[in-house]
Amino acid sequence: SQTIHQWPATLVQPVGSPLSLECTVEGTSNPNLYWYRQAAGRGLQLLFYSVGIGQISSEVPQNLSASRPQDRQFILSSKKLLLSDSGFYLCAWSVPGPGSPLHFGNGTRLTVT
Amino acid sequence: GQQVMQIPQYQHVQEGEDFTTYCNSSTTLSNIQWYKQRPGGHPVFLIQLVKSGEVKKQKRLTFQFGEAKKNSSLHITATQTTDVGTYFCAPSLFFSGGYNKLIFGAGTRLAVHP
């Protein structure tokens, strides 16, 4: 069966520090991969998606970037965090194809101080 | 771009009461998915609706897709404390190249008082 791992679970970082969140998927090949952010008590905002290795599309302009160095690995990064980057970051995967459901990781709760 | 509006934003009910959340779009949707997020947890896929007027049931949950495929609803009969969480609707858009994009509504947060 497929599983998705996301770490760390919680992170407290000072403003201006770098960020690296990692997500890996097991049990499937060539998945679509996604990074979402959720502000406290709010909905889900799509940040990045990827349909293959090295293929990254950004949905919103910001100081975050994403990379997919391997088929089942998705990384969210920032060179310098802002206070507004605080939130709940969720990685998700889906099977390529119309209407495929998303399967989310447990998320990383990031607090920028 | 395509957006959906979910109402209400928040509802609290007494255990045993029914609950309904609505998802409305100004454009015709090809399909819609529903997710549940428990407090502190991650969204979990519940169901997908594809056909006009489709009704699907999962135990006490009933999902409907409107005839015009512009709205959807989730109804919970006789709520239990385990139903607590935020319910999201999410129509999906499919792009050539295999990319499936979900547009999440703002969600309806359900609180159940025992």
Structural domains in chain B, CATH included, are 4-106 (2.60.40.10)
Binned at pLDDT 50, 70 and 90, residue A41 comes out as: confident
| B22-32 confidence digits (pLDDT tens) | 999 999 999 99
Nearest by CB to residue B42, choosing from A90, A96, A101, is A90
Binned at pLDDT 50, 70 and 90, residue B63 comes out as: very high
Cis peptide before A69 (omega within 30 of 0): no
Mean pLDDT across chain B:
93
pLDDT for the residue numbered A59:
84
Best A28, A35, A44 residue to mutate vs chain B (most B CBs within 10 Å): A44
The CA distance from B17 to the nearest CA of chain A, in Å, is 24
Whether the predicted pLDDT of B97 surpasses 70: no
pLDDT for the residue numbered B64:
98
Between A111 and B93, the more confident residue is A111
With an 8 Å Cβ cutoff, is A51 touching chain B?
A: yes
B102 contacts A102? CB cut-off 8 A? yes
The CA distance from A89 to the nearest CA of chain B, in Å, is 10
Is CATH 2.30.110.10 the classification given to domain A3-112? Answer: no
Domain boundaries, chain A: 3-112
Whether the predicted pLDDT of A61 surpasses 90: no
Whether the predicted pLDDT of A62 surpasses 90: no
B97 contacts A51? CB cut-off 8 A? yes
CA distance B40 to B49: 27
Q: Which residues in B lie closer than 8 A to residue A42 (C-beta atoms)?
A: 106
